[in-house]
Each structure stands twice: as structure tokens, then as C-alpha cells.
Chain A
Amino acid sequence: MAAKTGSVERLVGSYNAWATNGASRAPAWLKDLRAGGIARFGDLGFPNMKQEAWRFTSVAPIAEGSFELAQAPTRVPTLEEIRPFLLLEAGYRLVFVDGFFQRSLSTPFFDDVQSLAHVVTHRQDLVREHLGKYATTQDRPFSALNTAFVSDGAFVHVPAKAAIAEPIQLLFLASGDKQVVTHPRNLVVIEREARASIVETYASLGDGPYWTNSVTEIVAGEAARVDYHRVQRESTRAYHVATTQTHQGRDSTVNLHTIAFGAALARHDLGSVMAGPGGRLILNGLYLLAGAQHADHHTTIDHAADHCESHEYFNGVLDEKSRGVFTGRIIVRPGAQKTDSKQTNNNLLLSADAHADSQPQLEIYADDVKCTHGSTVGPLDPRAVFYLRSRGVGEAEARRLLTYGFAAEIIGRINEAPLRAQLDAIVRGRLAEK
């Protein structure tokens, strides 16, 4: 326990040094938010496997690793260098390196698609109204830690009844050559009847160990529609901890796709609150792992209002010694009648050493609801292999095709066609390596 306490103290010390030095010019409300975050983290400490929400995932490598708070990169990559990580040619783009906004690589749009650091002073009221209001820090030490270090990240705002026609790309690149931690903080506010499509990507220029601890808050106003895509392609030696929290108003639609390819250890908490009646949520996830990768997706869909629909589909493709964890918690609050909730988690084990844990958690406090869930864990279906072989497809190709189908089922639900094609190519590339 000593080492653990030590690492918490070190992070608190790092916060104190940063708060009195680099971050001292922040407005008072932001300083208070940060102070609350570090106090909460100090109380909670790192999670351990005795806690229900962490029973399959050990964060010891993070707690015991000495990650310094990232500094602004000494060298900014060129557009050519970052191009392989851009999943879309068109649209607005915000690029961050080691957590720092890179204006020269970005194409912001006034103060609506901007760096958070910029809008904290330029749109203070709007940021203050939303920042930290959705991603709880209660029982969430990593979210608390991120909140303590809130300084930069992406800010997207679409005013009522407006639509940003082009997709918005948020790219978080790690230099990947220093043992550092970044705490990207993103705020997405889509006002009433507005619409946006956003792609948030994490990737690395190097292959060293580093730690990303991000939080993204997404607010969809009444009858708003958000297509949100999250692509995690961190270095395979990286640690990736993330929270994505959505909050939906009446009759809003959120399609949230999360694809995880990278990191040695990844933990992603996805939370959705259906706060107004008539909301629709699609939560669509894929984790494609190999080697000794470990990815833990912890999802919570909170049906707080009536007549909402949530459809959750997560597929895992696990090769070699990798491990996938999926927890799907669905809460139907008293009065959330006519809730229609469907959850599916399918895991494909490509090796005898791969492992998957899948646990649905349904908490239903209303009586007129439809909630279904199902999960599978297993190898490729031999009947399907024979079916393909009986059509002339060779055995190795049949296995590859079936594996691809597992991933394609998830990627195929993405509406943004160029993004879908890019992800499809990444999946094919991964499977061809075998």
C-alpha cells in the first residue's frame, strides 16, 4: 500500500506545483473545479481490484509508473507527419500534441470549434455552465484527476438549429518518447435542434510508454443529433484511461461509436444519461486486441426519462494473450416507462490464451419497459467455417473473413462513409498481419 499512497501523493504534489505555477492565471471558478478534483482524487486514490467496477482490471502499472505531467512538445510535427493519423480529409480539425493545442496544424472555426484553453477565457459563461457538470468525479478517481488538471482539450459548440456540415476531427497525438501523462479534457455542446459529427482520435508518434487520461463531456440539447466517433490507436505500450459522458435532452439522438485498437492497458468508462423523454442512443463499440493488450469497457446507460431507446452493441476480437472486459450497466429509473433498451456483447476468441469477461448489469425500477441483453464468448463457429469452405473459400481465408465480419458488423454502423472506409482499412490491415 505504501507504493500506492506514494504515487497518489506524488500526483497531488505535481498538482500543487502546477496549480501555483503554470495554472495560476485561471479564473476562480476553474481553480475551484480543479481543487475539487484533486481533493476527490486524494480521497479516492487509485482503484483496486477489490472494487466491483475494477475487478478485472489492475491499474498497478499506471499507479506504480512514474509519469511526469507532460510539457509542451519541443518539436511540433509537420502536417505530413500527422496525416496518417487523420481519418478524414475534409472538415474542421483540432490537433493536440502531448495535450497541447497546435494551432498551426488545426483548422478551428471561430469560437465554436476551438481549444478549450482559448474558450475558457473567451466563452467563459458557456464553458462554466457545462464543464464538469456531466462527468462525475464521485467514485471516479481518474475523472477526478483529469478534472484537477483541466487545462486544454477540444471545445465544440453548435448553436441552436445550426448544423456543422463537415465532420470535426479531434486528434490527440502523443510524442510517445517520454514517460508523461496528459489529461485532455473535451467539451461538446450541441444545442437544441443542432447537429454535428465528430471524430476523436488518440494516437502516437512514438512507441514508448505514456499515459493518457482523458475526459469528454457531450451534451445533446432537445432534438439535437450527435454522431460521435472515438478511435483509440495509442501505442501498444501506452496506458489509456478515458471517460466519455453524454447527456441527452428530450427527443435527441446520440450515435456514439467507440473503436479500440491500441494501448497495452485501456480502460474506457462510457456513461450516458437519457435525461429527457424520447431520446435515442446508439452505443456501438469494437475492441480488436492482440499480444498482451487489455481493454476494459465499462458502460452505464441511465434511463432517467420515459420513452427513450438505447441500443448497445459491443464486439470484441481477441487474439493471442489479449483480454477484453465489457460491463454493460443499464439503469431504468422509476417513471422511465416505455424504455426500450437492448444490449449485446459478442466476443470472439482467436486463441486459447485470449480471454473475455462480459457482464451485463440491469437495474430496472420501472415496470412497463423492454430490456434485453445477450452476450457470447467463444471461438469462430466451426459451422460457419465449413459453410464458407463449402463455397470454395480456403480455410485460412474463411477464418479471416469471419473475423473481419465480427469487426465489420460494428464499423458498418458508422454513418460517416469516409471514416467507415478508413476504419475498415485499419481492420483489414490488422487481420492481414496475422
Chain B
Amino acid sequence: MKQGKVLLEVKGLRVAVAGTEILKGVDLTIREGEVHAIMGPNGSGKSTLAQVLAGHPAYTVLAGSAAYDGKDLLDMKPEERARAGVFLAFQYPVEIRGITNSYFLRSALNALRRERGEPELDPIDFLQFLEQKLKAIGWDDSMMNRPVNEGFSGGEKKRNEILQLAVLEPRLAILDETDSGLDIDALKTVAETVNKLRGPDRSFLIVTHYQRLLNYITPDVVHVLADGRIVKSGGPALAHELEAKGYDWLRDGVMVS
């Protein structure tokens, strides 16, 4: 595969939350069009990495850097990151009362379009746009007129995150344990959609505890995060190895310096 240019370059990233250091020096390079998976045991810092890249204000960067498309990502507000093409599919999507999914998505899309100097879409244009997007991923519009995530099942919430991904067309999509709480059918649907959204202009960072999502989405690179550091990186086979052996051999063994 021809290598794209570097989209995200994380170097020596150390991050604390509430005074506790969670990430203890993470290095990660993602090129355009690549799909990276980050695996690791609970508490290894996977979700912290996802959240800090999206700009969650609860996390404090102690040291290190993250360059996105040549810019200092850590210096950007969450909304600036989103407008520059960073998207986080939340592990726990938030319920928003009184705002329909359709209205929410249009507000988000228009914020991005303003940034790109494109005209905002009115409700009618947006519905047409949305219809195309839904068609492309083979979904219906049943979630669109319900308040954002309110009363959604776990699976619907995760699907809704992927729908937003499809509409907002990010350059870097970070999926934070999108597979957790999904039954196998929902997992397949989500994976198929992600596969349809893969392309040379879009990179993925897939954070997951289990290997099963990676049965359906084949990553280019698999990283293992343990105790706040990436302790091993490899090809798709690494995910299978982890599934077979668990994480203990990494924690106890040779890899941790």
C-alpha cells in the first residue's frame, strides 16, 4: 500500500486526570487512509487517549505533543478540532433532551460548513443531503426525529455515533469502544458502515477492548496500550494473538520497560 502523508503524530504524550497520570508517554503516527486499532486491558488509558485527542476538558496534558495535519492539536478547542476534521464516536453518547437528531446533525454540519466557507444547509437541503448519506450506508431515517440519544438502546446510541460520522465526514475518526454493549448483529452493521466509510482521505483510530470488532474491520496497524504506554505494535495478526493469549503476557512480561 502506498503510504499517505502523516495526519496525526503523537509524541511522548503524558496525560493526567484528577491528578493521576494515565498516559505515560504515548507515541503514535497515523497516516492518511490508515486504520489503527488500539487494544488494551481496562484502565490502560485507551479511552483517555481517545478523549484527549478530541479535547475533553477534564484531562490535563503534562508533556508531549500531538500534531494534526501539521497543526498543534492540543492547542485547539474541541470545536476547532471537530471543524478541522477530528471526530470522536463516544463510548457513552450523551442524551440531549428536546433536540432532535436531525436538528443536532444539521447544527453540527453547518458549523463545519461555515468553517470550510460553504453555505449552510437549510432544513430542506439538509434532509436531501441526509437522505443521500443514509442511502449510502443503507440505513433508514427512523432515528432522525427523536431527541438525540434519548431513550435509545445501547445499540441505537452506538449506531447514532456512526451515523454522525457518516454525515460529518471527518478526516480522523476516533471510535472509543464503539463495540461495547453491541450484540453481534449490531456489531456487524456498525462494522460494515465503517468499512463503507473507509477511504484514502479518512483515517481511523479504533479503541477496543475486544478483538471481535476487528474480525469485521481489518486494521492496518494494531497497537497494544498497557499502563499508559504503547507496548507493542503490529499487523492485524496481533489482534488475534491478543484474543488467544489475553493481555497478561504483556503486562507481566518482556514488553514493559
- Tell me the A residues contacting B by CB distance below 8 Å: 346, 381-384, 386-395, 397-398, 401-402, 404-410, 412
Determine the distance from Cα of A381 to Cα of B82 in the docked complex, in whole angstroms. 20
- Contact of A409 with B97 in the complex, beta carbons under 8 Å: yes
> Which of A390, A397, A408 is B99 in contact with, Cβ under 8 Å?
A408
Min distance, Cβ B119 to any Cβ of chain A, angstroms: 16
- Contact of B83 with A392 in the complex, beta carbons under 8 Å: yes
Closest to B99 in A: A405
18 chain-A/chain-B pairs, Cβ below 8 angstroms? A386-B56, A386-B57, A387-B96, A388-B108, A389-B55, A389-B78, A390-B87, A390-B88, A391-B164, A392-B112, A401-B99, A401-B104, A401-B107, A404-B98, A405-B99, A405-B147, A408-B98, A412-B98
Min distance, Cβ B177 to any Cβ of chain A, angstroms: 16
Min distance, Cβ B144 to any Cβ of chain A, angstroms: 14
- Contact of A387 with B90 in the complex, beta carbons under 8 Å: yes
Residue B79 CB within 8 A of the other chain = yes
List 3 tightest A-B contacts by C-beta distance, closest first.
A405-B98, A409-B98, A392-B82
Residue B226 CB within 8 A of the other chain = no
Determine the distance from Cα of A402 to Cα of B97 in the docked complex, in whole angstroms. 8
Residue B1 CB within 8 A of the other chain = no
Min distance, Cβ A313 to any Cβ of chain B, angstroms: 10
Known A391-B108, A392-B168; further 14 A-B contacts with Cβ < 8 A: A384-B95, A384-B96, A390-B54, A390-B55, A390-B87, A390-B90, A391-B107, A391-B168, A392-B108, A397-B107, A402-B99, A404-B98, A405-B98, A408-B98
Min distance, Cβ B151 to any Cβ of chain A, angstroms: 12
Closest to A406 in B: B98
- Contact of A395 with B90 in the complex, beta carbons under 8 Å: no
Interface residues as binary, B80-123 with A (CB distance below 8 Å gives 1, 0 otherwise): 01110001101001111111000010011001100100000000
- Contact of B94 with A383 in the complex, beta carbons under 8 Å: yes
Contacts of A402 on B, CB cut-off 8 Å? 96, 99
Contacts of A394 on B, CB cut-off 8 Å? 79, 111
Determine the distance from Cα of A398 to Cα of B55 in the docked complex, in whole angstroms. 15
Closest to A382 in B: B57
Contacts of A412 on B, CB cut-off 8 Å? 98
Residue B77 CB within 8 A of the other chain = yes
- Most chain B CB within 10 A, of A393, A397, A404, A408, is at A393
- Contact of A392 with B115 in the complex, beta carbons under 8 Å: yes
Min distance, Cβ A335 to any Cβ of chain B, angstroms: 33
- Tell me the B residues contacting A by CB distance below 8 Å: 54-57, 77-79, 81-83, 87-88, 90, 93-99, 104, 107-108, 111-112, 115, 147, 164, 168
- Contact of A409 with B147 in the complex, beta carbons under 8 Å: yes
Determine the distance from Cα of A392 to Cα of B83 in the docked complex, in whole angstroms. 5
Determine the distance from Cα of A386 to Cα of B57 in the docked complex, in whole angstroms. 8
- Most chain B CB within 10 A, of A391, A394, A407, A410, is at A391
- Contact of A389 with B79 in the complex, beta carbons under 8 Å: yes
Closest to B80 in A: A392
Contacts of A383 on B, CB cut-off 8 Å? 94
Determine the distance from Cα of A383 to Cα of B88 in the docked complex, in whole angstroms. 13
Contacts of B88 on A, CB cut-off 8 Å? 390
Min distance, Cβ B13 to any Cβ of chain A, angstroms: 19
Closest to B56 in A: A386
Contacts of A407 on B, CB cut-off 8 Å? 98
Contact A387 B93, CB 8 Å, known A393-B107, A395-B77, A405-B99: yes
- Contact of B111 with A405 in the complex, beta carbons under 8 Å: no
Closest to B164 in A: A391
- Contact of A405 with B168 in the complex, beta carbons under 8 Å: no
Contacts of A386 on B, CB cut-off 8 Å? 56-57, 78
Contact A389 B115, CB 8 Å, known A383-B94, A404-B98, A408-B98: no
Contacts of A346 on B, CB cut-off 8 Å? 97
Determine the distance from Cα of A173 to Cα of B201 in the docked complex, in whole angstroms. 61
- Contact of B97 with A393 in the complex, beta carbons under 8 Å: no
Closest to B108 in A: A391
- Most chain B CB within 10 A, of A386, A387, A392, A410, is at A392
Determine the distance from Cα of A410 to Cα of B98 in the docked complex, in whole angstroms. 8
Contacts of A395 on B, CB cut-off 8 Å? 77, 79
Determine the distance from Cα of A393 to Cα of B99 in the docked complex, in whole angstroms. 14
> Which of A381, A393, A404, A410 is B94 in contact with, Cβ under 8 Å?
A381
Contacts of B112 on A, CB cut-off 8 Å? 392
Min distance, Cβ A282 to any Cβ of chain B, angstroms: 16
Contacts of B97 on A, CB cut-off 8 Å? 346, 405-406, 409
- Contact of B107 with A405 in the complex, beta carbons under 8 Å: no
> Which of B77, B90, B96, B104 is A389 in contact with, Cβ under 8 Å?
B77
Determine the distance from Cα of A391 to Cα of B94 in the docked complex, in whole angstroms. 12
Closest to B149 in A: A387
Contacts of B104 on A, CB cut-off 8 Å? 388, 391, 401
Determine the distance from Cα of A387 to Cα of B160 in the docked complex, in whole angstroms. 13
Contacts of B83 on A, CB cut-off 8 Å? 392
- Contact of B111 with A391 in the complex, beta carbons under 8 Å: yes
- Most chain B CB within 10 A, of A386, A397, A402, A406, is at A386
Determine the distance from Cα of A395 to Cα of B77 in the docked complex, in whole angstroms. 9
Determine the distance from Cα of A389 to Cα of B83 in the docked complex, in whole angstroms. 10
- Contact of A384 with B55 in the complex, beta carbons under 8 Å: no
Min distance, Cβ A185 to any Cβ of chain B, angstroms: 35
- Contact of B96 with A405 in the complex, beta carbons under 8 Å: yes
- Contact of A387 with B94 in the complex, beta carbons under 8 Å: yes
- Contact of B82 with A390 in the complex, beta carbons under 8 Å: yes
Contacts of A401 on B, CB cut-off 8 Å? 99, 104, 107
Min distance, Cβ A274 to any Cβ of chain B, angstroms: 26
Determine the distance from Cα of A384 to Cα of B87 in the docked complex, in whole angstroms. 15
Closest to B167 in A: A391
Contacts of B107 on A, CB cut-off 8 Å? 388, 391, 393, 397, 401
